[in-house]
């Protein structure tokens, strides 16, 4: 390891700069102003908040877009898949009068009215609001509440997330609050090393991609890097050097992604979704990347 990896990891693991965070905050504020200026949306129960790496402070410089959730709380999509005999009828829930598709169109109209048509691009899942010198690029994601119903009619509870329906079909459920809360707790439990190692792994992946290790690095999105480090035991953090923490993390993750059985129960940070079930990435892709990362650093 001729390169001074400890110095590199110290730089990569540092928290996002104040200027970068300020631009993300400005993007969130601007989207909120757009919603408030809409006659169709201003009176509705809507929450606007940053989610993802910027909210969790695990973003790195290559993360150019900030995810801004526009959450309508006046309606929700229920999930009864893990309940016992519960349904809309059993709980007295009725169909909403404000369809998700209409809400998404109203969000688009509000953004276009505030920012201008040239600054807003509609995607399948979100709207891209272009950056300027004041704010960073924003992916604005219109969502309804998602409620996972647990238990039975005699005793039941709800877990709340977000749900969106892409224009080209399908359903996407996310758990931004659980991602945030669990990340904060693990960061505390590891002496603030968890988020540092997340940022390091993201930067390592990005550099590998730029240096031609595309086949190994390309299938590994930012959120997956965060989830992988989440599955490293807390005892693996807090070595005398960041390099030792990175070595432990890569070794643990590589060893436990060699077979489906070893990581079958691993979850995303939110612990509401399995990491290797029904995802766009695969366990072999992750294992290949981890081996390539180990070799790239020069660990033996």
The yes-or-no verdict on residue 1 having pLDDT over 60 is: no
Alpha-carbon distance values, 175 to 36, 146, 246, 259 (Å): 25, 9, 27, 27
Rg (CA), the chain: 21
Q: Tens of pLDDT along 109-164?
A: 999 999 999 999 999 999 999 877 777 789 999 999 999 999 888 888 999 999 99
User: Which residues, 6+ apart, have CB-to-CB distance to 253 below 8 Å?
Assistant: 228, 231, 232, 286, 290
CA 29, CA 124: separation in Å to the nearest integer?
A: 23
Is the per-residue pLDDT at 287 higher than 80? yes
Q: Which domains are present in the chain?
A: 16-174 (3.30.460.10), 179-297 (no CATH)
Q: What is the pLDDT of residue 16?
A: 84
Instruction: Let me know the angle formed at the C-alpha of 243 by 242 and 249, rounded to the nearest 5 degrees.
Output: 90
Distance, CA of 113 to CA of 108 (rounded, Å): 8
- The answer to whether the CB of 108 falls within 8 A of the CB of 122 is yes
Residue 64: the pLDDT is 66
Least confident of 73-87, 124-138, 155-169, 255-269: 124-138
Q: Which of 7-11, 131-135, 189-193, 212-216 has the lowest mean pLDDT?
A: 131-135
Q: Are 282 and 276 in contact (CB under 8 A)?
A: yes
Q: State the pLDDT confidence band at 85, using cuts at 50, 70 and 90.
A: confident
Average model confidence (pLDDT) for the chain?
94
At residue 20 the predicted structure's pLDDT band, cuts being 50, 70 and 90, is confident
Cα-flanking dihedrals φ and ψ of residue 157, to 5°? -140, 170
């Amino acid at each position: 390891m001729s390169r001074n990896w400890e110095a590199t990891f110290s730089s990569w693991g540092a928290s996002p700069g104040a200027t970068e965070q300020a631009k993300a905050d400005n993007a969130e504020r601007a989207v909120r102003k757009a919603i408030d200026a809409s006659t169709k949306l201003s009176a509705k129960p809507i929450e606007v908040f940053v989610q993802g790496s910027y909210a969790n402070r695990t973003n790195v410089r290559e993360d150019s877009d900030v995810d801004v959730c526009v959450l309508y709380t006046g309606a929700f999509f229920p999930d009864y898949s893990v309940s016992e005999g519960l349904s809309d009828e059993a709980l007295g829930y009725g169909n909403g009068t404000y369809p998700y598709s209409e809400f998404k169109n109203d969000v688009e109209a509000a953004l276009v009215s505030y920012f201008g048509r040239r600054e807003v691009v509609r995607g399948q899942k979100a709207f891209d609001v272009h950056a300027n010198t004041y704010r960073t690029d924003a992916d604005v994601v219109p969502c309804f509440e998602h409620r996972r119903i647990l238990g039975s009619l005699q005793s039941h509870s709800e877990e709340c997330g977000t749900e969106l329906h892409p224009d080209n079909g399908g359903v996407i459920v996310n758990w931004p609050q659980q991602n945030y809360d669990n990340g904060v707790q693990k960061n505390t439990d590891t002496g603030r090393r968890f988020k540092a190692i997340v940022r390091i792994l993201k930067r390592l992946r990005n550099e590998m991609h730029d240096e031609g290790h595309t086949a190994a690095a390309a299938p590994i999105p930012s959120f997956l890097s965060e989830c992988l480090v989440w599955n490293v035991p807390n005892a693996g953090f807090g070595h005398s050097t960041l390099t030792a923490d990175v070595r432990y993390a890569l070794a643990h993750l590589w060893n436990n992604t060699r077979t489906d059985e070893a990581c079958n129960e691993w979850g995303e940070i939110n612990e509401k979704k399995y990491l290797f079930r029904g995802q766009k990435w695969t366990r072999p892709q992750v294992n290949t990347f981890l081996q390539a990362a180990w070799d790239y650093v020069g660990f033996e």
